[in-house]
Structure 1
Amino acid sequence: MDGSVNTSPLPCENLNVYIWDMDETLILLKSLLDGTYAKAYDGLKDSRKGTEIGKCWENHILQVCDDYFFYEQMENYNQPCLDALSIYDDGRDLSDYNFNSDGFKHILDDADKRKLAYRQRVIAQKYAQGLHHLLNQEMIELWDDLYRMTDNFTDSWFSSGHAFLRQILERNTVSTSNHTRCEHINILVTSGSLIPSLVKCLLFRLDDVFSYDNVYSSWDVGKMQCFSLIKERFSGRVVRFCVIGDGMEECMAAQRMNWPFIQIDFRPSGIHRFPGLTLRMVEHYIDVIYEPSNSENDDE
């Protein structure tokens, strides 16, 4: 023996997968547009201001979708994730590829699937780079101002939700109690179509807590099918799943999978909302279904 110390990472024997809904869970948009968010505050919030904020977000989302993410070409075709057509991608260099004249016709034969796969590869690259690599300074300032205005109007719902997601990822440390490493991962399963949902992640500053390959759209296949895909993705590992959302579809799908479900409610009287939701609360729901974790139970 040479006396050296083995510093290689301990194996990830356990995995916690937190499956999040987007709309009316991590971001509030529909409730701003239709006034239900303001109404829940019994006159303390200006409904017209909320609607104006929501319309501004709608305009930003559509503009970014159309200008940078091929949405006009792809809006009638939705996949549950960006990697769904990767087997059709031949790895061609796309640096000088003309997406406006490649004959993409939505016939969805193998040739069109390859062209779709090219677009999805570019979308993944742009997502990984972030909007600061796409937008000009004027657009970035408008975006920053709108985010701050929205976060202030919603009493820090957006920033506290993001902070909670960051806190989950920061748990990816070695447990000194049982000498194994428990990995934590955030996955988004949204009922919206994939491209606008990815753009929402970018605009609402969620791209650092959801990588593009952890964003799923249930628009065509439903939440249950997405949950099944995620379960299969992590087969062979010791996994504890937890679903956090506001709707009945994810609630019922979680029940069918026998996964814990946490109901988010934006009303001031809601038990689970932002700010307010803590890791201790989430861990409690997980422990009801699974064996209690031996590590990190003291996290707030």
Structure 2
Amino acid sequence: MGRLPGILKASRTMKKIENYNQPYLSSLHEYDDGKDLTKYDFEADCFSSPFDDVNKRKLAYRHRAIGDKYAKGLQKILDHRMFKVWSDLYSSTDKYTDGWLSSAHKLLEEALGKSTAEPAVKSSSINCIVTSGSLVPSIAKCLLYRLDDVVSSDNVYSSWETGKLQCFKWIKERHGGPNVHFCAVGDGPEERSAASIMKWPFVKIEIRPDAPHRFPGLSLSTIHSIMDAVYQSSSKDG
């Protein structure tokens, strides 16, 4: 019971941030003056409506603090007991799903060039997540599911208000270039449609045990083959 007040306070703080959902953490970067947040009292800064420049700065502070915590990892946030409880739950879930979590993580590692399984992969590759949920809880989920070492907090996007097509456009604006290729991986019609409009290859994830594109099973070489086919076809057409 000793931890309950802290949990309730964190829940209230999270709800406040959710009320002013943003599509990505750095969306309010222009309002952040770089203030040292080491001793900043988020509970006492009266963050609330109206969502004016003053409160946008306060939200930008929160986003920066969230990004800093994410970068430090879950082990720096949870105490030893809670970290072990969550690690055991993660392992049990991974086992129950035949390695879905760990195999997906391995694929993301390979995409970044962190694995020797795909030695030709360059480290300039990045992973982005576009979620239909609100931003901060989605970032928390990425942390809980051990994605913090393969997806940076700056590359998590919330399509809650904007839609996934707009998020894809932001990703292209931020990371695009003459030799940059994109590939969308997902299981929903919205991301399929957005990828089609962007002329990106789309890999549909399925949960059927015999499906070719599921975890475990989907490999980076398969994704590369799909990307090569789409981009070579686009090159011939245009």
SS of 1:238's equivalent in the other structure is coil
Quickly say closer, same or farther: Cα 1:182–1:145, change in 2 above 3 A.
closer
Tell me the equivalent position of 1:276. 217
Which has the greater radius of gyration? 1
- Mapped to 2, the partners of 1:68 and 1:284 lie a distance apart of 44
Q: Is 1:113 paired with 2:56?
A: yes
Q: Deviations over 1:165-196 (max 9, x none)?
A: 111111799xx99xxx6732111111111111
Decide which of 45, 67, 70 is 2:10's aligned counterpart: 67
Tell me the equivalent position of 1:126. 69
Q: Deviations over 1:107-142 (max 9, x none)?
A: 110000000001001001000001111111110111
- Mapped to 2, the partners of 1:236 and 1:283 lie a distance apart of 18
Decide which of 198, 202, 222 is 2:143's aligned counterpart: 202
SS of 1:244's equivalent in the other structure is strand
- The count of residues paired between Structure 1 and Structure 2 equals 227
Tell me the equivalent position of 2:3. none
The letter for the 2-side match of 1:120 is H
C-alpha deviation, 1:268, in angstroms: 1.1
Decide which of 86, 90, 114 is 2:33's aligned counterpart: 90
Decide which of 174, 178, 190 is 1:233's aligned counterpart: 174
Q: Deviations over 1:15-46 (max 9, x none)?
A: xxxxxxxxxxxxxxxxxxxxxxxxxxxxxxxx
Quickly say closer, same or farther: Cα 1:247–1:69, change in 2 above 3 A.
farther
Question: Which structure 1 segments of 5+ residues have no match?
Answer: 1-62, 293-300
Tell me the equivalent position of 1:242. 183
- Mapped to 2, the partners of 1:194 and 1:255 lie a distance apart of 24
SS of 1:262's equivalent in the other structure is strand
- Mapped to 1, the partners of 2:110 and 2:18 lie a distance apart of 34
Tell me the equivalent position of 1:10. none
- Mapped to 2, the partners of 1:182 and 1:131 lie a distance apart of 24
Tell me the equivalent position of 1:253. 194
SS of 2:218's equivalent in the other structure is coil
> Is the Cα–Cα contact under 8 Å of residues 171 and 183 in structure 1 kept in the other structure?
no
Q: Is 1:158 paired with 2:101?
A: yes
Aligned CA-pair RMSD: 2.6
Q: Deviations over 1:80-113 (max 9, x none)?
A: 1100001000111112211111111131100000
Quickly say closer, same or farther: Cα 1:235–1:271, change in 2 above 3 A.
closer
Higher helix fraction (1 or 2): 2
Larger RCO (CA under 8 A, 6+ residues apart): 1
Quickly say closer, same or farther: Cα 1:64–1:279, change in 2 above 3 A.
farther
Q: Is 1:187 paired with 2:128?
A: yes
SS of 2:211's equivalent in the other structure is coil
SS of 1:183's equivalent in the other structure is coil
The letter for the 2-side match of 1:244 is V
> Is the Cα–Cα contact under 8 Å of residues 157 and 275 in structure 1 kept in the other structure?
yes
Q: Could you tell me the percent identity over the aligned residues?
A: 51
The letter for the 2-side match of 1:97 is Y
The letter for the 2-side match of 1:136 is D
Structure 2 length-normalised TM: 0.88
Q: Deviations over 1:142-162 (max 9, x none)?
A: 101110110111011001110
C-alpha deviation, 1:291, in angstroms: 3.1
Q: Is 1:285 paired with 2:226?
A: yes
